[in-house]
Amino acid sequence: MILAQETALFDWEWVGRNLDSIWERTLEHLALTGVALAVGIVIATGLSAVALRRPRSYTTITAATGLLYTIPSLAVFALVAPLVGIGTSTQRFITAEIALISYTLLILTRNIVTGINGVPAGVREAATGMGYRDGERVRQIELPLALPAVMAGIRIATVTVIGLVTVTALLGLGGLGFFILDGLRRSIIFPTEIVVGVALSVSLAALIDISLLGLGRVLTPWAQDRGT
Amino acid sequence: MGSQAATDIMIRLDNVTKTFAGGTRPAVENLSLDVGRGEFVTLVGPSGCGKTTTLKMINRIIEPTSGRIFVDGRDALAVPAHELRRSIGYVIQQIGLFPHRTIAQNIATVPLLLNWDRARIDARVAELVEIVGLEPGMLTRYPSELSGGQQQRVGVARALAADPPVLLMDEPFGAVDPIVRKRLQQEFLNLQGRLEKTIVFVTHDIDEAVFMGTRTAILNVGGVLEQYDTPETILANPANAFVEDFLGGERGLKRLALRPVSQVGMKRGPVVDVSAGADEARRVMNEHSVDWLGLLDGDRLLGWVDGSQLDGGDLRLLEPRPFLVSLDSQSSLREALDAVVTSHARVAVVVDDGVYKGMLDLEAIAEEITE
Amino acid sequence: MDFLSDVAAWFGEVGRWTDDDGIIVRTVEHLWLAVFPMLLAVLISLPVAVWLGHRRIGAFVANAVVNIGRAIPSFGLIVLAAVFFARAGVSLRFWPAAVALLALAIPPIFTNAYTAIVTVPRETVEAARGMGFTETEVLWRIEVPMGAPLIFAGIRISFIQVLATVPLAAVLSSGGGLGQYVIRGFSQGPGGLVEVFSGAMLIAILTLGADWLLSRGERLILPEGLRGRSSEEIRVAASVS
């Protein structure tokens, strides 16, 4: 049972009593985010490959993913929910994921394409001229050099998704957003639960953002300012 | 005709044509060109002449529309393109070093593609760094940390890594400033002297083309070969009005730029050793009909003194003025001419590492042009 | 197929459009909930951003604003604002959302306006000063016109973002514009999915329509010569930074 004390503005004892629940919801939050990003990256890579092979398709792809991006997340959940159903927890998970994934596609696709296109033409030509086959060149030269842009996109997409996951509380999921909604419904003037929900999701976002930043730095040693 | 049998032809283009999609006229039309083993051929011409397209067809960066291409005895169009390219060195204007790899890794690119073993690669990289004039300490750096000139040296090293017999170069020194470019050109010529590769070198600069090449191909729009001969011959006898136009003015001077001073007979000129007496000094001056004198200390040229400074005393006590311009044996006759025109004494002195070689005057130089 | 006919029926219900609780009223509320914070945001952040950009200081501020803005979940912000107002005894229909949306609206407007002015080439500004323009003239005749595309883009992006977040306010009470249909529908379980879907369609149409309209408007207002730095480039640039 989750109850907040009636007196203080922030009740630490509540936190202590509900650590299990908090932990569970954090894991749920991470799961929802992780799946969305993983699938999003896969799809965005595919879309990028198409866009790079056929430059004319890029406008269409951008328009389509842009559409998904512009439509409010709540509306996307709401459009998908009747199609997938919200009866079982699996259905709810899928509904949430579809919406979350579609939100990431614009940023990821755009950054992957920009990243690959940003590889200097001279580098590409030198690689071909030295005898790299197409696939080898993409894998060994272009993708590594596109990494900064791709990582930037992943960071933005991840932070955005972590924020959106809170909205899935309306579907009965929500990760840490559960506390936000639950706190709202139970007792709005005693915001312990709500604050926990918000603070933890923001912290999660900050933590993961910094980690990704660090990961990006590790993966791109050549782009660091080494001073001469 | 049949197959390209003679092994001293390294590259053969046989009626090669390239028409780009959407183009109304071919960029290169029916071009036939042979490059012999060890030759340094420069391709030069106005924009649109197809020189870069031609170069890129040799390693099939651009595929020819028709015609045949042979490299080192093999039909270039019959082997997989990437295999062909791994046996040809390629240096481009933008250099194109891989930013995410260290200098060592960049240089080792083709050997890695060819699966050389680690030890062999390391040895080769060390060797090349020395050959192109870089410091071993740069091997662990990234391209962004190097200057333009250094990067281009790495580009050359990278092209030479797998020791290909053929080197293709597309305006390789275009991206650096003129001073660095002059130095790179000279160093590269020295390098070629050691390595004796077969080189095809594209440039838009006629001066660079005649300076670097053993033979120069002058191309006109559409890949039309207007003249293909030694720079000396082209400058002396342009094949037609187009070539004459393209060579520009001052062809005589350009020819002079091709000849090193060492090829010409130098005179000793009015010089005496500082140990000589005043009479000897005066005698030498009169002999040459000049009012100045060069002073030597054994082998070393100290400078010159004006005739009026000779007061009969010890020559060693005089303070000779240095010659304004001093050349070495490798300097061109054109530089010598410039020195002659600039100097008060109307001569160009030649000194090699401090050792006096002789001097040239206007007459000596003019003889070279007219011969 | 049944579902779609149910949806059609929902739209066709008597009073669905015209009631106090109907689509038209809710759409107006939805738009007002977006426009009001936007106007305030523009009033607050635009002058500051433009001034900072003109003086070429405060890059750190611009950066911080962007990063903070991105990190705060709008949902959480709305609810926290609600807590505040609830404790103050104010009705939750309007103000929590308005305040939260104001906070949401500021970052894109601020950052874009700042960048717009700061990236006006120094040489251009110096040339103007050299020709005798006063500081005010430099600002209004040179920097602002040159920065106009980016500034408009920032406003457009901000507005669409705000418009898209309005529905979330529906969790608070009976506000949230068209979002109310979605929230209400969800709370009814599987039976409310018709309302959920219909509400979502309305929201989608409204948002996409507004985006389209603003893009066209942007293109019409901006003079040809300045179109160089398009909002496309900005979005790309912003996403890579």
Along chain A (228 residues), what's the average pLDDT of each consecutive run of 10 residues?
55 84 92 95 94 90 90 89 83 91 93 92 94 92 92 92 90 87 80 88 91 92 66
Query: B310 pLDDT exceeds 50?
Result: yes
Mean pLDDT of the residues in chain B: 88
Say if residue B64 is in the same domain as residue B138. yes
Say if residue B187 is in the same domain as residue B140. yes
Rounded distance, CA C156 to CA C160, Å? 6
What are phi and psi for residue A22, nearest 5 degrees?
A: -60, -45
Which residues on neighbouring strands pair with residue B273, listed in sequence order? B296
Nearest partner of B56 among B27, B22, B97, judged by Cα: B27
* pTM of structure: 0.79
Task: Output the CA torsion sign for B7, B10, B13, B18.
Answer: positive
Q: How many CB atoms lie within 10 A of CB C139?
A: 22
- The DSSP annotation for B22-62 comes to T-SS-SEEEEEEEEETT-EEEEE-STTS-HHHHHHHHTTSS
Rounded distance, CA C135 to CA C130, Å? 11
A116 in contact with B at a CB cutoff of 8 Å? no
Give the chain A residue nearest C181 (alpha carbons): A78
Say if residue B301 is in the same domain as residue B180. no
Give the chain B residue nearest A220 (alpha carbons): B100
- Identify whether B131 is part of a domain: yes
Say if residue B99 is in the same domain as residue B214. yes
Query: B311 pLDDT exceeds 80?
Result: no
Q: Which helix (H) or strand (E) holds A68?
A: helix A57-70
Chain C: nearest CA to A71, how far in angstroms?
5
Last residue of a domain, one of B259, B289, B312: B259
Report yes or no: A102 and A129 within 8 Å, Cβ to Cβ: no
Q: Under 8 Å CB-to-CB from B279, ≥6 apart: which residues?
A: none
Domains assigned to chain A: 12-219 (1.10.3720.10)
Contacts of A228 in chain B (CB under 8 A): 145
Contacts of B83 in chain A (CB under 8 A): 131
Q: What is the mean pLDDT of each run of 10 residues along chain C (241 residues)?
A: 82 81 87 93 92 86 78 83 83 85 90 89 88 87 87 90 90 83 83 86 92 86 57 43 33
Chain A: nearest CA to C241, how far in angstroms?
7
- Identify whether B216 is part of a domain: yes
A42 in contact with B at a CB cutoff of 8 Å? no
Say if residue B171 is in the same domain as residue B45. yes
The residue assigned the tokens 């004796």 is B196
Angle at C13 between CA C9 and CA C14, to 5 degrees: 160
Give the chain A residue nearest B62 (alpha carbons): A129
Query: B219 pLDDT exceeds 90?
Result: yes
- Identify whether B286 is part of a domain: yes
> What's the pLDDT at B298?
85
| Cross-chain Cβ contact A189/C167 below 8 Å | no
The CATH number of the domain holding residue B300 is 3.10.580.10
Contacts of B159 in chain A (CB under 8 A): 130
Report yes or no: C166 and C97 within 8 Å, Cβ to Cβ: yes
Q: How many domains does chain B have?
A: 2
- Identify whether B189 is part of a domain: yes
Token pair, residue C218, equals 């942007």
| Cross-chain Cβ contact C196/A78 below 8 Å | yes
Say if residue B241 is in the same domain as residue B268. no
Residues in chain B: 371
Angle at which helices A192-219 and A177-186 pack, to 10 degrees?
170
- Identify whether B201 is part of a domain: yes
CA distances (Å), B267 to each of B261, C21, C159, in order? Answer: 12, 111, 87
> What's the pLDDT at B1?
42
If one compares B76 and B258, the residue with the highest pLDDT of the two is B76
The one-letter amino acid at C167: P
Q: How many CB atoms lie within 10 A of CB A22?
A: 18
Spell out the long-range contacts of C207-213 with Cβ–Cβ below 8 A and sequence spacing 24 or more: C207/A70, C207/A71, C207/A72, C207/A75, C207/C160, C207/C163, C207/C164, C208/A67, C208/A70, C208/A71, C210/C159, C210/C160, C210/C163, C211/A70, C211/C156, C211/C160
> What's the pLDDT at C1?
67
Say if residue B169 is in the same domain as residue B267. no
Chain centroid to CA B46: how far? Answer: 20
The CATH number of the domain holding residue B218 is 3.40.50.300
Say if residue B61 is in the same domain as residue B189. yes
Query: B315 pLDDT exceeds 70?
Result: yes
Report yes or no: B38 and B133 within 8 Å, Cβ to Cβ: no
Report yes or no: C85 and C92 within 8 Å, Cβ to Cβ: yes
Return the DSSP state at B114: T
Say if residue B273 is in the same domain as residue B354. yes
What are phi and psi for residue B292, nearest 5 degrees?
A: -145, 170
* Count of helices and strands (H, E) across chain A: 10, 0
Angle at B154 between CA B148 and CA B156, to 5 degrees: 105
> What's the pLDDT at C5?
85
- Identify whether B1 is part of a domain: no
Last residue of a domain, one of B193, B227, B259: B259
> What's the pLDDT at B102?
94
Angle at C4 between CA C2 and CA C7, to 5 degrees: 115
Report yes or no: B209 and B231 within 8 Å, Cβ to Cβ: yes
Say if residue B298 is in the same domain as residue B205. no
- The DSSP annotation for B308-322 comes to GG--SS-GGGS-PBP
How many Cα atoms sit within 13 Å of B41 on the Cβ side?
A: 26
Say if residue B136 is in the same domain as residue B157. yes
Report yes or no: A160 and A107 within 8 Å, Cβ to Cβ: yes
How many cross-chain Cβ pairs, A to C, lie less than 8 Å apart?
A: 147
- The DSSP annotation for C96-155 comes to HHHHHHHHHHHHHHHHHHHHHHHTS-HHHHHHHHHHT--HHHIIIIIIHHHHHHHHHHHH
Rounded mean pLDDT, B12-24 = 91
Q: Which chains touch B (3 or more CB pairs under 8 A)?
A: A
If one compares B268 and B215, the residue with the highest pLDDT of the two is B215
Rounded mean pLDDT, B298-302 = 85
State ipTM: 0.79
> What's the pLDDT at A5?
47
- Identify whether B61 is part of a domain: yes
Domains assigned to chain C: 2-240 (1.10.3720.10)
Last residue of a domain, one of B219, B244, B259: B259
Token pair, residue B262, equals 């060492």
- Identify whether B2 is part of a domain: no
Give the chain A residue nearest C158 (alpha carbons): A70
Query: B5 pLDDT exceeds 80?
Result: no
| Cross-chain Cβ contact C76/A188 below 8 Å | no
Return left, alpha or beta for B250; rule: phi > 0 is left, psi -120 to 50 is alpha, else beta: left
Q: Under 8 Å CB-to-CB from A27, ≥6 apart: which residues?
A: none
Say if residue B255 is in the same domain as residue B270. no
The residue assigned the tokens 């481009």 is B92
- Domain span at residue B154 reads 9-259
Return the DSSP state at B323: P
